[in-house]
Amino acid sequence: MKIKTKKDRKERIRLRQRKRIAGTAERPRLAVFRSGAHIYAQVIDDLAGRTLASAASTEPSLKTVFSGKVRGGNRAGAEAIGKVIAERLKEKGVTRVVFDRGGFLYHGRIRAVADAARAAGLEF
């Protein structure tokens, strides 16, 4: 795959990671995606091919969390998503996950999701 654009580079990194990262029932994969304005996280059991839990800054149920300076496009919003996804997983009895940064650098909002999820009780 020839790298012509930043998008091609990110896709190549994502595919290289996915060769090594796979979610199981005991340890599902926590995949994070960010756009300019929003951030999304979902926990996937790759063996069964199903999503166990998800959280997004676009959810209407999280409107109370995302008010004022907390938005999907900043670190405070990413921390809120990390905390919410960890709480939803703990309700389902999952405490260990594999973190999938999805080709993004482990920095800024991606790191904020990971740190908040760890602080809320997830292990990875």
pLDDT at 103: 92
Domains of the chain listed by start with CATH number: 6-119 (3.30.420.100)
Q: Tens digit of pLDDT for each residue in 23-69?
A: 999 999 999 999 999 999 999 999 999 999 999 999 999 988 888 88
108: left (phi over 0), alpha (psi -120 to 50) or beta: left
Q: Is the pLDDT of residue 1 over 80?
A: no
Beta strands, E only, 62-112: 98-100
Cα separation, 40 vs 16, in Å, equals: 21
- Name the token pair of 60: 């209407």
Three-state secondary structure call for residue 39: strand
Q: Tens digit of pLDDT for each residue in 96-105?
A: 999 999 999 9
